Structure 1
Amino acid sequence: MRTLRLMVKEQTPLYIFVAVLFLVGVVFGALIVGALTMDQQQELSDYLGNFFVTVDQQGLASASDSYWSIAALNLKWIGLIWILGLSVIGLPGILILDFLKGVMIGFTVGCLVSQYSWHGMLFALVSVAPHNLVLIPVLLVCSAAAIAFSLLMIRTRVLGQPKRTPITRPFTRYTLLSFAMALLILGISCFEAWVTPSMMRWVTPMLVSVGL
């Protein structure tokens, strides 16, 4: 526990940095929506309209079927961040992933709000926000740990710090943290697969009526 508190204290600036980078991505993603042409906005509106009608009439895939695809997608993010953290050249990739995650969320919410106003915001609150309230901090924690380990690799392998600098213990902490976050991801995926679709079906009829 003491080691965990010390690690969190040491990596606090990294947590702040990746959080700001993610928020910049969210803002950028929302701004992209406003830059779409009229044709692109119409195509987006048609796609969303068809999606909501399908959900309202046919529902979504069963939770047991969608769980593994959701869990696999989320675990890929964790795994990719972990792999990038192991290499000296992986640092930019970690930053790009955090930025892209923010862009994806910002664009999704921006599209819903631009097309459906407060109804879209309500749908975003039940479909995007709940699981991401936990998923995003998990990804940011993994990113901060990956950046810290990558910087350690740079100092020891590139800048030529003494070879006696131990790398085994930081690697073990880094890997165990990533594994713990992966287990948490499995729990978050359960919520996204079983609870989120129910909330989506509750809001979807409102959006269908707005589209009509």
Structure 2
Amino acid sequence: MYKNTFLVWEHIKQHATVYLFMIILFLTGIIFGAVIVNSMDFIQKQDLFFYLERFFVQITEGVSIEKKDIFWQSFIFHAKYLILLFVLGLSVIGLPLVWILLFVKGMVVGFSVGFIVNQLGLLEGLFLASLSIAPQNIIIIPVYITAGSLSMIFSLGLLNKLFSRRNNQQLLQPFIRYCIIFILLLILSLLAAFIEAYIANNAMEELIKSFY
């Protein structure tokens, strides 16, 4: 256990620049998403809020999506995203797409929170966002940042080995570790999907019913 913790810490220290870059990229996406909300005109906001309000009304009327459907939809979405990051890490030319995917994920989170706060007000908006968006994202955001960072690290490693012309067999062990870590990230995304479907969704429904 101690040895594994030490290895993880050494890995993070060795690639601290990559992880820092990915965190900054993700935070930039969040800020950009919030800016988009503020740059929207009144009509655009009202059109979006119309669909959000219909969703609220459906919840108050007892019409909601099955929890298991939310769970599987959420997990499949995360799995596709992670698999795409995994595949892009296997090719040097896919590295810019890794950056774009992580930026877009941050932008979606920033836009979602920003729009809810903008339409419902600071107190109610933050309260709803903290119950409906925050719980699963506490897990899934580090998962995406880790996945994007590992994808970038592996891709840069391939580039380095390509130019140094080392024996291809040296890629086997890093590739196995790469696969194992992504499997662990998929398991964590399964946990995030469970939290979203059975905890965050229930909390959101109860809060919306109290609002309306």
- What's the TM-score once normalised by structure 2's chain length? 0.92
**2:71 counterpart of 1:75:** no
| 2:43 equivalent to 1:39 | yes
The aligned residue for residue 10 of structure 1 is: 14
Structure 1 residue 59, shift from structure 2 partner: 3.9
Deviation (angstroms), 1:207: 4.0
Displacement, 1:99? 0.3
Q: Deviations over 1:111-148 (max 9, x none)?
A: 10110012111110000011101100011111111100
**Letter of the aligned partner of 1:5 in structure 2?**
W
For structure 1, which runs of at least 5 residues remain unmatched after alignment? none
Amino acid at match of 2:27: L
Query: Aligned match of 1:124 in 119, 126, 129?
Result: 129
1:53 and 2:53 are equivalent in the alignment: no
**Cα shift readout 1:38-81 (whole Å, capped 9, x = no counterpart):** 21011122122111111121242121222111110111111111
Alignment length, in residue pairs?
A: 206
Counterpart residue number, 2:152: 147
Mapped partners of 1:12, 1:54: distance in 2: 46
Q: Which runs of 5+ in 2 are unaligned?
A: none
Deviation at 1:206, TM superposition (A): 4.3
Q: Give 2:157's aligned amino acid.
A: L
Give the corresponding residue for 1:99: 103
**Structure 1 CA distance, aligned partners of 2:49 and 2:167?**
60
- When the two chains are superposed, the root-mean-square deviation of aligned CA atoms in Å is 1.4
Report the 3-state secondary structure (helix = DSSP H, G, I; strand = E; otherwise coil) of the residue aligned with 2:87.
Answer: helix
TM normalised by structure 1 equals 0.92
Aligned to 1:188: 192
Q: Percent identity at matched positions?
A: 32
